[in-house]
Structure 1
Amino acid sequence: MRQPQVHALACEVCGRLPHPRRTRLALAKLGAVLPVELALHALVIRLELPFLATVSVLAIVATILVIWVVEPGAMRYLARWLHAPELRHRRRLDSAERLWRIRVRLDNKPGRLELLAKQLGDRRANILTVHVHHLENGVLDELVVSTPAELAPQRLVHAITRAGGAVIGIWPASALTLVDGQTRALGLAARVASDPAELPLAIAELLGAQYIPHADPDRTPGGTVLEITPHNDSAGMTFIRSGEPFTPAEVARAHRLADLALLATHRG
């Protein structure tokens, strides 16, 4: 596997590398500064300068060399050793299995999902969760799969095509994706029941969408738009999600949350 480079550890925002561990940083500075200090002291002592001149030369020259030459050079040339623990951790992360969230449209016929599982299995993709959304002209399966790090998304697309499916989208996922959807929905329902004003943000979190308080068709960013109109709010709420259409089940869950908020408001 290709070894990660030090620049891969740089912050995406500021471009700086993480601060090295204190022990490694101290050893690097000591190894870089000590030879320079010894050489400088030997040179000044050999010149037999007066005591005050000796102290001044050592202080000024050593400070300049350390700040402008030695320390930057050591940080540059010893960067791989300084950040070796972080590089090992990055290498373990790069070699770990990846998680993908896949939405695929299949014909509602026996054996289609089994064929899809076989095609994915042939490429060492392990299906972790499956949610089936029934549509008028088929089914929309939402899967979370783990794959080897070197498996490219294009191979997943090829597997789905071989199984007779149509790819709606493939997105990188995290361990949070494995949280049971029903459990998460119940948690959001409890949040709305205790405070109905949380409804728009709760629906946005449930759908993984963006809530647009004041929708303007001319200024709304591109994507799939969903409008929810509670019975007590004629203005309604607008949500948008780019690259991923809302499924009927997701729309139904959003409406149920809106009904729960209305019920909680009347009881309050």
Structure 2
Amino acid sequence: MEPLRTALTGGLACDVCGRLPHPRRLRLTVAKRLAIFPVEFALHAIVLALHPSYLIAVSALVVVTTALVIWVIEPSTMRLLRSWLHAPRTRPAAGLGALWRIRVTLDDRTGALERLTHHLTDLDANILGLHVHPLDDGVRDELVVSTPDPIDPDSLLTAIEAAGGRDAHAWPTTTLALVDGQTKALSLSARVVGDPGELPHAVAELLGARLVTDHVTLAAPLPADGTVLKIPSPWTGLFAFTRAGEPFTPAESARAHRLAELAELALTRR
């Protein structure tokens, strides 16, 4: 189904957990070096052929290489090598079958979740985790469910829509998705207190979003679809995050802003 495909963040998200890759440092270093080498080789060859002054040559090499790495090479490397950079697909623990992370909007009325549970039970699906985000037009539920191996995402989404669910997305996931949300938030809070500079990365991890570094997006008004979230930076300006196909809920926005306040408080006390 189309929602399943469009939910992936710009083609970078992992096929296992639906989130952006977090590669091992050695793998990422090797990938960047392989991508940068031909560009630097060509750039040095051009500079040597033109014989500019020493200052102009050094400035050109530094500026052009830095710009290419930040805006072209690193994003392209992450996209092309995402399956190698990310951890491989893992099998869930014995007895869990296949694991899925599901996000769906339900009507905020009695029986809506029970109806969803009933339709998932018809697929022998077992709900292992549930998070509820209040919305103006209902509730956004995030579930972790286990199913027998033959169940595919289309079957899950069909059952969810039959139960009255809207804007449903489903991703294969691992047992890491079973980590308690409150525990994860507390761990990220401690990380921000220890190093306020970790704020943007902690928020991105908390929300399963991508940190935006494009200055045009940072300066632009927020889109009406809710897929971009901005929070104040304790240093200057704003941090922006995006999650394609999956709007941020008011509760998620509040959590991100609380982390920003925590980072500012930590900086003040230092």
Name the TM-score, length of structure 1 as normaliser: 0.60
**Aligned mate of 1:239, from 216, 238, 241:** 241
- In the alignment, residue 228 of structure 2 is paired with which amino acid? V
Over residues 114-145 of structure 1, what are the superposed CA-to-partner deviations in whole Å (9 max), with x where a residue is unaligned?
A: 11101100111111111111111111111111
Report whether the alignment pairs 1:99 with 2:99: yes
**Partner residue, 2:146:** 146
- Once the two structures are superposed, residues 124-175 of structure 1 have per-residue CA deviations (whole angstroms, 9 ceiling, x without a partner) of 1111111111111111111111111101211111211221111331111111
> Aligned residue for 2:232?
229
**Structure 2 stretches lacking a partner, 5+ long:** 1-89, 221-225
Cα-Cα RMSD: 2.8
Distance 2:239 2:92 in 1: 44
Q: Confirm or deny: 8 A CA contact 1:160 1:167 kept in the other structure.
A: no
Alignment partner of 1:162 is 2:168: no
Aligned to 1:114: 114
CA contact (8 A) 2:232 2:239 kept: yes
Change (3 A) 1:215 1:100: farther
Contact 1:103/1:141 (<8 A) preserved: yes
Give the aligned partner of residue 217 of structure 1.
217
Q: Residues 180, 143 of structure 1: CA spacing in aligned structure 2 closer, same or farther, 3 A cutoff? A: same
How far apart are residue 214 of structure 1 and its match? 4.3
Counterpart-to-counterpart distance in 1, 2:181 and 2:158 = 28
Percent identical residues: 54
Runs of 4+ aligned residues of structure 1 deviating over 6 Å after TM superposition are 90-93
Aligned partners of 2:136, 2:210: CA distance in 1, in Å? 27
Residues 200, 211 of structure 1: 8 Å contact kept: yes
Q: Is 1:254 aligned to residue 256 of structure 2? A: yes
Corresponding residue pairs, total: 176
Q: TM-score of the superposition, structure 2-length normalised? A: 0.59
Distance change >3 Å, CA 127–CA 256, structure 1 → 2: same
Tell me the distance in 2 between the aligned counterparts of 1:217 and 1:205.
20
Given residue 266 of structure 1, which amino acid in structure 2 is its aligned partner?
Answer: T
CA shift for structure 1 position 216:
2.5
1:234 CA displacement:
4.6
Tell me how far apart the structure 1 counterparts of residues 122 and 103 of structure 2 sit (CA, whole Å).
19
Higher relative contact order (CA 8 A, sep 6+): 2
Amino acid paired to 1:227: K
1:128–1:144: 8 Å Cα contact kept in structure 2? yes
